Every structure is written in structure tokens, then in C-alpha cells.
Amino acid sequence: MKLIGPFTQLITLANLSLRGKLTDEQLEIIPNGGILIQNKKIMAVGDYEDLKQQNPNAITEKQQPNIDNQIALPAYTDSHTHICFGGNRANDFAMRNAGKTYLEIAEAGGGIWSSVQHTRQATEEELLETLLERIKYLLSLGITTIEIKSGYGLDVENELKMLRVIKKAQAQTKATVIPTCLSAHLKPRDFPGDSGDYLNYILKEILPKVKEENLANRVDIFIEKSAFQPEESRNFLVKTKDLGFDITVHADQFTPGSSRIAVEVGALSADHLEATSDEDIAYLAQSNTVATALPGASLGLGEPFSPARKLLDAGAILAIASDWNPGSAPMGNLIAQASVLATYQKLSTAEVLAGISFRAAHALKLDDRGILAENKKADFVVYNTDNFQNIIYQQGRLMPSSVYIDGEKI
């Protein structure tokens, strides 16, 4: 048994609703708090001195005795990333900012297809090395649960290669890695057939092998004019569900309507939502599908932010994720992105913190984390500061002084 603290503030995120708006007054803030840990789980949180008296055998651990003020809160979850990839797309970014169109960029060898080519060319070792570096960066931000998609392989060999690399990464990091098969990212240029044929190919040739090798139990699809159309996507998702996969969808990024399909097929989450209509918002709000805002994609593309305020006011479950990928969201700093989303969408600190902790974890079916409370996974983040408001206020500049996974400092 181990007692960690005392912390000037312990922000537990306990007793907050899974859906809808939150105010900062609802936050439980324990002054002089401590976290009692056993077997990788939290046994209790409360007043540090009380916990010490009640548990005289607990080993005490204060990380930095010379620091006056430290605060602790649950570690974060990034529920949507594409951080397994080869190459980079800095030139796409520059061309976009120079006013070039999507088509012109694609013709100049950019776009998703360029990441597919670089990812196909990369060896497993090369992909693993860069993936582990990106995971390390996310860990330094306090993100200990990371969803990672395939989707730059787009054929049996390379999609499996990506998913195997993601599985290997899990063996080499203390972070929790949740893999998702995004073979339905785009119909690859070299596929002989139409998009419907390609979706059938995924169902027949890729997903059975993903199952066999236990590489992922989640499937994603990009529903958009330039990718997969609504009806073929719906059929694909129904069939994927029959195969036993959980579903998530890239929805409403440029055109509205596909989040509705996500809700109808019972997707765990509908992500992007930059173009979501008021009607779609009402639909999402009445569902159990988590609405995931991806401010990193808005910042990377210069597109509007997802209507996070309206989604929360309507009662949706709002998560915020980075979408870190080489094309639309190259930044990767979820804390900075969520903080910026807060200013544009008028989100409370509680809403931001919930969106990158227990609400995001819920989108991955991981309700065992994101809250400092009894029996939850002992993943938490410590900052050298006296006030939790500084995290969002400093818009990503304030870095954790330590990050704990399963009660161990990493």
C-alpha cells in the first residue's frame, strides 16, 4: 500500500455526469489531498493526514519535497489518433496555406495517399520507432491511454503490418494502447474496383485476419464525399458489427449527416463533427454515442471548430481528442488544442478536463479510469502549480512534473 501526496489540490473529477454541461463549481477539489494506492488501483482519496493516520503501514511518497505546490488529477485519454505513419506532410501544410486546393495538393503527390505510400515503404521497425516516440510525447503531456488507428496501409499486408506495429508498441509502453482498424479510410488508388468492392474486400480479406491475430476489436470508417458514401458505409458498419467489432466513425467533417449513421448503428463514438447540423446535434445528444471534437484538425486545416458548446448544452457526451496525424492534425498537443477549443466554444475547465479524461475513456469502453476514486486505475498526473485552472489557462505550456501509471511514476 502506498500513499502519495500531499497535494495542494486534488481534482478528482468524481461525481460528474457522463453527459451534458458541467460547471467548475461542480468539481470536487480536495485541499492537502492524498491518493492511497494498492495493486495498481486507487483505494482511497482524501485528506492526506487523515489517510496517513488511518493507514499507518502505507509507504509514503512525496515526489519533490522542495516544491511548495503540487496538484494532481486523473491522467488523460486521447481517444482518436493516427500516430502510426511513415513520412510527413509538411509540404501539404505549406501548400494549403498558400491557397492550393485539395485536388492540387493531391496532384502534387500529397494527401492521405502520400502517407499511404510512405507507410507502405516503411519497415515494421521504422514504424515502431517513430510510433514509440510519439507515444512518449503524449505520455509527457499526461496522456496515458491512447487510441491508435491503422488506415495508411489500405491493403491486407500493410493494414496488418500497421496493426502489428501498434500491438508491438503496446508491449513496449506502459501507456494503454487501444488499436482501431481504419482500413476504410480511403479507397486506395491501386485497388481494382469501386468503393463498395473495397469495403467488401475489407470485410472478407482484412477483418477476419484482424480477428484471427487479435489485432483490434474496433473498426472505423471515414464517411465523406471524398471517401465513403453514407449508404455503403451503413451496410459496411452493420456487417462489421455482426463480425463482433465495436464501431467508431469519422463523421460530419466537411458535410453533415454521417453522425446520424453512427448513432443508428450504435457506434461508440462519432468523431470530427465540424459540419454537424443542429438536427444532428439533437440526434447525438439523445444517443449513447460519444461526440468527439477534434480541435487539432480544425487548427491544422483552418476549419471551424466542432460545436462543442451546443453539443454539451443539448446533453451529448462530449470527448475531445487530438486526431494527431501527418495531414490534417500535425500538432499532437491535446492539452493545447482542448484549451483553444475552450476559448472558441466557451467551455468550462470542468468540461475540458472531463472531455479528455473519463468521457474520452468512455468512448473506448474504459470506464475504469479518468476519475480519482476508489477502485479506479491509478493513472494520474501531477503539476507543479497551486491551481488547476493554470492547466487550461496556460494553453499547453504547463507540463506535468510527473505522470503515474498504475500507481508508479514513469
Asked whether the beta carbons of 47 and 55 are under 8 A apart, the reply is no
Residue closer to ligand NIG by CB (options 282, 301) is 301
**Angle at the Cα of 24 (from 361 to 72), degrees rounded to 5?**
60
In the list ligand NIG, Fe ion, none, the entry touching 222 (Cβ below 5 to 8 angstroms by class) is: ligand NIG
The burial class, CB within 10 Å (0-12 / 13-18 / 19+), for 279 is exposed
The correct pick among 96, 134, 161, 250 for binding ligand NIG (CB under 6 A) is 250
Q: Please state the closest distance from residue 323 (CB atom) to ligand NIG, in A.
A: 5
Binding footprint of ligand NIG, residue count (CB under 6 A): 13
259 binding ligand NIG? (CB under 6 A): no
Give the per-residue contact string, 289-318, with ligand NIG (x = CB under 6 A; - = no): --------x---------------------
Q: Which of 155, 165, 224, 230 is nearest to 193 (CA)?
A: 155
In the list Fe ion, ligand NIG, none, the entry touching 161 (Cβ below 5 to 8 angstroms by class) is: none
Could you identify the residue written with the cell 468503393?
195
Stretch that binds ligand NIG, among 54-62, 207-215, 228-236, 325-333 (CB under 6 A): 325-333
Residue closer to Fe ion by CB (options 70, 325) is 325
* CB proximity list for 394: less than 8 A, separation 6 or greater: 339
Q: Which of 65, 12, 79, 75 is nearest to 362 (CA)?
A: 79
Nine cell digits for residue 230: 453514407
The correct pick among 147, 246, 323, 351 for binding Fe ion (CB under 5 A) is 323
Beta-ladder partners of 377: 41
Site for ligand NIG in 36-95 (CB under 6 A): 82
Stretch that binds ligand NIG, among 18-26, 319-327, 373-381, 392-400 (CB under 6 A): 319-327
Nearest position to ligand NIG, beta carbon: 327
Residue closer to Fe ion by CB (options 159, 323) is 323
Could you identify the residue written with the cell 472531455?
355
Which one-letter DSSP state was computed for residue 223?
B
The burial class, CB within 10 Å (0-12 / 13-18 / 19+), for 199 is buried
Q: Please state the closest distance from residue 58 (CB atom) to ligand NIG, in A.
A: 44
Residue closer to ligand NIG by CB (options 329, 340) is 329
246 binding Fe ion? (CB under 5 A): no
Give the per-residue contact string, 211-240, with ligand NIG (x = CB under 6 A; - = no): -----------x------------------
- CA 372 to chain centroid, in Å, comes to 19
Residue closer to ligand NIG by CB (options 60, 88) is 88
Which one-letter DSSP state was computed for residue 75?
P
- The helix/strand count (H/E) of the chain reads as 17, 16
Q: Please state the closest distance from residue 51 (CB atom) to Fe ion, in A.
A: 42
The correct pick among 119, 325, 384, 385 for binding ligand NIG (CB under 6 A) is 325
Stretch that binds Fe ion, among 7-15, 306-314, 321-329, 343-351 (CB under 5 A): 321-329
Site for ligand NIG in 106-135 (CB under 6 A): 112, 115
Q: Which of 173, 168, 162, 189 is nearest to 83 (CA)?
A: 162
Q: Please state the closest distance from residue 54 (CB atom) to ligand NIG, in A.
A: 48
Binding footprint of Fe ion, residue count (CB under 5 A): 1
Asked whether the beta carbons of 130 and 118 are under 8 A apart, the reply is no
**Angle at the Cα of 99 (from 322 to 271), degrees rounded to 5?**
25
Stretch that binds ligand NIG, among 131-139, 159-167, 229-237, 324-332 (CB under 6 A): 324-332
Stretch that binds ligand NIG, among 40-48, 133-141, 320-328, 338-346 (CB under 6 A): 320-328
Nine cell digits for residue 229: 458514401
Q: Give the neighbor-by-neighbor strand order of the sheet with 143-149.
A: 76-78, 143-149, 176-184, 218-222, 246-251, 269-272, 290-293, 318-320
- CA 287 to chain centroid, in Å, comes to 20
Using H for helix, E for strand and C for coil, what is the string for 236-301? HHHHHHHCCCEEEEEECCCCCCHHHHHHHCCCCEEEECCCCCHHHHHHHHCCCCEEEECHHHHHHH
The correct pick among 77, 253, 287, 292 for binding ligand NIG (CB under 6 A) is 253
Q: Please state the closest distance from residue 390 (CB atom) to ligand NIG, in A.
A: 30
Binding site for ligand NIG (CB under 6 A): 82, 112, 115, 222, 250, 253, 297, 323, 325-329
Binding site for Fe ion (CB under 5 A): 323
